[in-house]
Amino acid sequence: MTLLRFRASPEQDVDLARTYDAVVVGSGAAGGMAAHVLTSQGMKVLLLEAGKKIPIEQELRSMQWPYDHPRRGDAPPGYHAIRFNEYNVRKPPYAKGSAFKHVFSYVGGWGGSDYVKNILVDEKDHPYTGTKYAWVRARLLGGKTNIWGRLALRLSDYDFKGKTHDGYGEDWPIAYADLEPYYDKVDLYLGISGHKENLPHLPDSLFQRPNKLTAPEVKLRKSLATMGRTLTPYRAGVTTDGVKNKYRSKCFGRGACGRRPGGCDIHAAFDSPTGLIYPAMDTGNLTLRTNSIGHEVLVDPNTGKARGVSFVDALNHRTYEAKAKVVIVAASTLESARLLLLSKSRQHPNGIGNSSGHVGHNFCEHVMGPGVTGLVKEMVGAPPTLDDGKPGGFYVARFRNLQDKQPGFIRGYGFEGGSGFSIFPDNAWGTPGFGGQFKKSVREHAGAFISMGGFGEVLARYENYMDLDPEVKDSWGIPVLRFHYEFSDNEKKMCEDMANAGKEMFEAAGIEVVGVDKNILTEGWSIHELGTARMGNDPKTSVLNQFQQSHDVKNLFVVDGSSHVSASCQNPTWTIMALAWRSCEHLADEFKRGNL
């Protein structure tokens, strides 16, 4: 696009005449980490965030009682969250033709949409097309880290060397030993809660004080141990003992994280602004510009190298240019792919960094939906206890296709679960009848349920991809992503096994199974999108090298989940940050040597 020079509004008074050492696109887990590492190495960094900076504490209001909110947490009239059925009976763009004033992803309908109405994107402004997909996006400083689920797990060589283990896909260009020191750094800098288990497939972190379990969870843990399986307290990206960071408090077990779509207004749960960006600004090396929608990585016509980023101001819709010696893309897996594909030039006709043709391909994520609910008989009628005052419930580590070989599918899944009393007795919905008996039954059973749901690895396949829609544009005139993606037979077989295995495990523990859910939730539901610009040693079949550096353009890095070679079944945020830390350390070294 053409460069037009406009003066930014006063709050956006960022010097765009200078050439920064690096420009980072995106301020979530990856972009925040890039800003932290590079500024601590003395580099002058400009951070562009497409969304706004909002007083997040006023949005989250973590301890507000339902009855103190005029709509008991719901958003004002005219706000609508897309429902499960809508995702499946319709095709995107889901907000097209909607009579509602604002349309949000399904997360906006979960436990209090008023608390996320300024965090999630309005689907009306941010359409996408193609196959069905529940795409959850948060455009604001810190991105989805403002509301993430906090489960902070490490991957292992079962993941990094998956091809070696079972022959499918590609190995990552790194091993666990390469990343372990950076996982340690992330643990220590940001804080993580957990309990050591010494599992080779789910390596321990450097844990702070762990979550506690409920009595039914202890019972299930003991039973699973006899089966060689592990239930561990939720490994939460939450500082429970505190970290040296003036913007963050330690966790006080208020429990808001369980009854809302995440979000912690004392910032004990990691979020990118308080965990990474504000401390980076305190170095004096970081310049932040919000409302800045990157839409093209600019290329030097002589060298073919990246020379900066063109962006649209979200408020005034004008186009600006940020100049930098190094460009770091960290806009989230799908947005990063979109940005690379949008960056077409004479040298890079298929989009920058895309000589392999793999940008947008090899998409992977987690499949979820199947799960099990059980009734713990001895808890019926037990007096209420404080069960939800902690960052999470429990996690059951992967147990499939480690030593064994399943007939129906490769790779594995873990379960996330919880039990006990919470602020709202969900069992009321399913309790039949009315009157005194109904009321008593709800009360007596409210704390007696335990449930868990699987998160399984979706295989990275070249045929699962996103490209640019040739016609549809977003509210800023930027072409949108078009999805070509669906679950394969491996995911479907795995999901059948999830439901069956969950049922077996509850029954073995003496928990009465009252519900088995076999339905698979819409693609995208896990909010763990990965791939689209994978790392690898071969420039013909991968986009980035092991330092998330473009094979084609040496001063271009893509440091978010798009670089992942496979999805693993373990949640990605901690790995995204460990990788970004490792790559940005390498980047800073190369920069100082003049190699970029």
Residues 253-282, interacting with other proteins (CB under 8 A): 253-256, 258-259, 261-262
381 binds other proteins (CB under 8 A): no
Identify the residue among 178, 184, 517, 590 touching other proteins (CB under 8 A): 517
363-391 residues labelled b (16+ CB within 10 A) or e (exposed): bbbbbbbbbbbbbbeebeeeeeeebbebb
Q: Which of residues 47-106 bind other proteins (CB under 8 A)?
A: 63, 65-67, 70-81, 83-84, 100-101, 106
CB of 61 to other proteins, least distance (A): 12
Question: Which of these ranges, 366-374, 480-488, 577-585, 587-595, lies near other proteins under the rule CB under 8 A?
Answer: 366-374
Answer for the pair 191, 271: CB distance below 8 angstroms, yes or no: no
Identify the residue among 242, 304, 357, 389 touching other proteins (CB under 8 A): 389
Smaller CB separation from other proteins, 80 or 534: 80
Smaller CB separation from other proteins, 24 or 530: 530
Smaller CB separation from other proteins, 161 or 254: 254
Residue 55: asked if its preceding bond is cis (omega within 30°), the reply is no
Q: Position 160: which residue type?
A: F
| Residue of 532, 399, 545 whose CA lies nearest to 461 | 532
453 binds other proteins (CB under 8 A): yes
Smaller CB separation from other proteins, 211 or 285: 211
Parallel, antiparallel, or unpaired for β 19-25 and 556-558? unpaired
Answer for the pair 557, 400: CB distance below 8 angstroms, yes or no: no
Sketch the per residue contact string, 478 through 507, with other proteins: x for CB under 8 A, - otherwise: ------------------------------
Residue with structure tokens 């079962």? 158
Phi, psi dihedral angles at 467 (to 5 degrees): -135, -175
Identify the residue among 26, 31, 111, 531 touching other proteins (CB under 8 A): 111
Host H or E run for residue 482: strand 479-484
Report how far residue 374's alpha carbon sits from residue 354's, in angstroms, rounded to the nearest whole number. 49
210 binds other proteins (CB under 8 A): yes
Q: How far is CA 432 from the centre of its chain?
A: 37
Smaller CB separation from other proteins, 464 or 522: 522
435 binds other proteins (CB under 8 A): yes
CB of 77 to other proteins, least distance (A): 4
Q: What is the CA radius of gyration of the chain?
A: 23
Smaller CB separation from other proteins, 215 or 402: 215
Smaller CB separation from other proteins, 111 or 279: 111
532 binds other proteins (CB under 8 A): no
Question: Which of these ranges, 206-214, 307-315, 322-330, 491-499, lies near other proteins under the rule CB under 8 A?
Answer: 206-214
Question: Which conformational region is residue 335 in: left (phi greater than 0), alpha (psi within -120 to 50 degrees), or beta?
Answer: alpha
Smaller CB separation from other proteins, 421 or 483: 421
Report how far residue 9's alpha carbon sits from residue 52's, in angstroms, rounded to the nearest whole number. 14
Smaller CB separation from other proteins, 174 or 215: 215
Smaller CB separation from other proteins, 440 or 592: 440
175 binds other proteins (CB under 8 A): no
| Residue of 559, 130, 137 whose CA lies nearest to 353 | 559
Largest CA distance in the chain: 80
Report how far residue 143's alpha carbon sits from residue 28's, in angstroms, rounded to the nearest whole number. 5
Report how far residue 135's alpha carbon sits from residue 474's, in angstroms, rounded to the nearest whole number. 15
Smaller CB separation from other proteins, 301 or 430: 430
Q: Which of residues 533-572 bind other proteins (CB under 8 A)?
A: none
Smaller CB separation from other proteins, 196 or 492: 196
Report how far residue 358's alpha carbon sits from residue 364's, in angstroms, rounded to the nearest whole number. 13
CB of 386 to other proteins, least distance (A): 4
Question: Which of these ranges, 10-18, 38-46, 302-310, 410-418, lies near other proteins under the rule CB under 8 A?
Answer: 410-418
Q: Determine the 3-state secondary structure of 332 from DSSP.
A: coil
CB of 260 to other proteins, least distance (A): 9
Sketch the per residue contact string, 213 through 252, with other proteins: x for CB under 8 A, - otherwise: xxx-xx--x---------xxx------------------x
CB neighbour list of residue 587: distance below 8 Å, 6 or more residues apart: 22, 38, 326, 328, 547, 549, 557, 596
Identify the residue among 122, 123, 313, 416 touching other proteins (CB under 8 A): 416
Smaller CB separation from other proteins, 51 or 216: 216
Q: How many residues bind other proteins (CB under 8 A)?
A: 95
Q: How many residues does the chain have?
A: 596
Residue 164, Cβ density class (10 Å: 0-12 exposed, 13-18 middle, ≥19 buried): exposed
- Both tokens of 244, joined, read 């040296």
Q: Which of residues 390-409 bind other proteins (CB under 8 A)?
A: 390, 392-393
Report how far residue 321's alpha carbon sits from residue 3's, in angstroms, rounded to the nearest whole number. 6
CB of 115 to other proteins, least distance (A): 13
CB of 212 to other proteins, least distance (A): 3
CB neighbour list of residue 70: distance below 8 Å, 6 or more residues apart: none
Report how far residue 30's alpha carbon sits from residue 38's, in angstroms, rounded to the nearest whole number. 12
Q: How far is CA 95 from the centre of its chain?
A: 23
Report how far residue 146's alpha carbon sits from residue 573's, in angstroms, rounded to the nearest whole number. 13
β-sheet bridge partners, residue 465 = 484
CB of 184 to other proteins, least distance (A): 22
Question: Which of these ranges, 107-115, 286-294, 460-468, 491-499, lies near other proteins under the rule CB under 8 A?
Answer: 107-115
Answer for the pair 322, 16: CB distance below 8 angstroms, yes or no: yes
Identify the residue among 26, 28, 92, 149 touching other proteins (CB under 8 A): 149
Smaller CB separation from other proteins, 36 or 250: 250
Identify the residue among 91, 195, 323, 586 touching other proteins (CB under 8 A): 195
Q: Determine the 3-state secondary structure of 284 from DSSP.
A: coil
